[in-house]
Every structure is written in structure tokens, then in C-alpha cells.
């Protein structure tokens, strides 16, 4: 069993349930944040190995001026050294240029909601393996 910890930032209860159950079944410790405020609190109190981030967060506008998942990520990268983990964006955004947007600096993978969960779990494993290899090389 893995001891790797994943922060899932998602405000859709159905998506939370699926991600949480599948990630736990794959052996990961999972902490869920239903919005920006919870994600910030979780990140300052616990060390995470990876974050899965939804781009459309309902509470984003009321927290530190954040309006969505990307602004949350940008803020976390600037303000929280403990947020140096890889990020997988999991979104319903269908913009064709999503993966090329400069705001996605530091994002390992971008997935549209509705993909096979096994592909997302595979990307989680790959991102964590890449992080481990990078840390060993440093």
C-alpha cells in the first residue's frame, strides 16, 4: 500500500465520491477539499504528494480574491511553499487551448471529466513516479 497523500479539490459531490473511492482503492490517502478555502487550510496543515484540481470552484470568488481553480493554483504556488506538489487538472472545461494556457505551469496532466477513471489513476501514478525520480536526481 502506498502512503502517498492526494488532495482532491472538487465541489461536485458525485465526482468527489468516485475519485475518493477509486484513489483509496488504489492505495492512496485522500483528503477532499470542496473549494478554495478548504484547499488552502488543508495545504497549510498537511503535506501532500499530489493535487487533483477542478477548475470551476463555487467558493473561489470569496477566498483571497480567487475566482477559479487556476487562480487558486497560482496563489498557492506563490504563497505556500508546501504547495510544490504536482497537479492534475480534472475539469469540465472544454476549451481547446486548455492544455496550452500559461496558467497551467506546473500541471502534470489535464483531463476532461468523463474520461475513464483508470486513465486518471494511471496519470496519478505516473506524476508521482516522475516526482520521485526528480527528487532522487536533485
pTM given for the model = 0.88
Superfamily of domain 5-137: Response regulator (3.40.50.2300)
Question: Do residues 1 and 27 make contact, with C-beta atoms less than 8 angstroms apart?
Answer: yes
H/E segment holding residue 15: helix 13-25
pLDDT at 104: 67
pLDDT at 1: 44
**Which pLDDT tens digit goes with each residue over 77-135?**
888 888 889 999 988 877 766 666 655 667 888 888 888 899 999 999 999 999 888 88
Q: Is the dihedral of CA 123, 129, 132, 134 positive or negative?
A: negative
Examine the pLDDT at 3 and tell me if it is beyond 70: yes
Matching residue, cell 500500500: 1
Ranges of each domain in the chain: 5-137
pLDDT at 41: 93
Task: Take residue 22 and report the three cell numbers written for it.
Answer: 477509486
Q: Residue 40 — φ and ψ, nearest 5°?
A: -65, -50
Rounded to an integer, what distance in angstroms lies between the CA atom of residue 135 and that of residue 20?
26
Amino acid at each position: 500500500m502506498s502512503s502517498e497523500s492526494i488532495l482532491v479539490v472538487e465541489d461536485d459531490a458525485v465526482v468527489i465520491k468516485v475519485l475518493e473511492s477509486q484513489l483509496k482503492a488504489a492505495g492512496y490517502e485522500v483528503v477532499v477539499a470542496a473549494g478554495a478555502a478548504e484547499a488552502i487550510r488543508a495545504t497549510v496543515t498537511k503535506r501532500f504528494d499530489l493535487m487533483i484540481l477542478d477548475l470551476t470552484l463555487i467558493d473561489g470568488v470569496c477566498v483571497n480574491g480567487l475566482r477559479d481553480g487556476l487562480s487558486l493554483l497560482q496563489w498557492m504556488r506563490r504563497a505556500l511553499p508546501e504547495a510544490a506538489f504536482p497537479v492534475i487538472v480534472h475539469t469540465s472545461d472544454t476549451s481547446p487551448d486548455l492544455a496550452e494556457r500559461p496558467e497551467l505551469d506546473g500541471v502534470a496532466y489535464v483531463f476532461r471529466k468523463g474520461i475513464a477513471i483508470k486513465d486518471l489513476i494511471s496519470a496519478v501514478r505516473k506524476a508521482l513516479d516522475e516526482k520521485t525520480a526528480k527528487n532522487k536526481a536533485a
